[in-house]
């Protein structure tokens, strides 16, 4: 990986951004495996997919990380709420509680 300042032109910069996007997808795929395991554990313990207190804990955590990193906390919260909603829907499917 090249540092942004070491990219001499847009072509080099785009290569690095594309590589980062691929890494982000890999991380999201890895996160999904943890969501699937959470659904298995929740099923065995009779827990629902949506646990509002945990949702807010996750949001608070990512807002804090975003603030520390100098990122827009509202943007990160919006992105994570979408991710959380997707994760809950995924768990619902695994728990057999999706009406769709």
For residue 6, what pLDDT band results from cuts at 50, 70 and 90? very high
Q: For position 98, what pLDDT does the model report?
A: 55
Could you read off the pLDDT of 42-53 as tens digits, one per residue?
Answer: 999 999 999 999
DSSP track, 42-64: HHHHT--S--HHHHHHHHHHHHH
The model carries a pTM of 0.86
Please write the tens of the pLDDT for every residue from 66-87.
Answer: 999 999 999 999 999 999 999 9
**Percent over 90 (pLDDT), the chain:** 92
Name the pLDDT band for 92 (thresholds 50, 70, 90): very high
Instruction: Find the mean pLDDT for residues 1-5.
Output: 92
Using alpha carbons, select from 91, 17, 80 the residue that is nearest to residue 48.
Answer: 91
| pLDDT above 80 (res 97) | no
């Amino acid at each position: 990986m090249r540092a942004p300042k070491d990219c001499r032109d847009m072509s080099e910069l785009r290569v690095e951004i594309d590589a980062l996007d691929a890494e982000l997808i890999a991380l999201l795929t890895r996160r999904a495996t943890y969501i699937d395991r959470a659904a298995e554990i929740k099923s065995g313990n009779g827990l629902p997919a949506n646990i509002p207190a945990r949702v807010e804990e996750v949001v608070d955590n990512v807002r804090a990380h975003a603030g520390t990193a100098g990122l827009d906390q509202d943007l990160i919260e919006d992105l994570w709420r979408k991710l959380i909603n997707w994760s809950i829907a995924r768990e619902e499917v695994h728990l057999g509680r999706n009406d769709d």
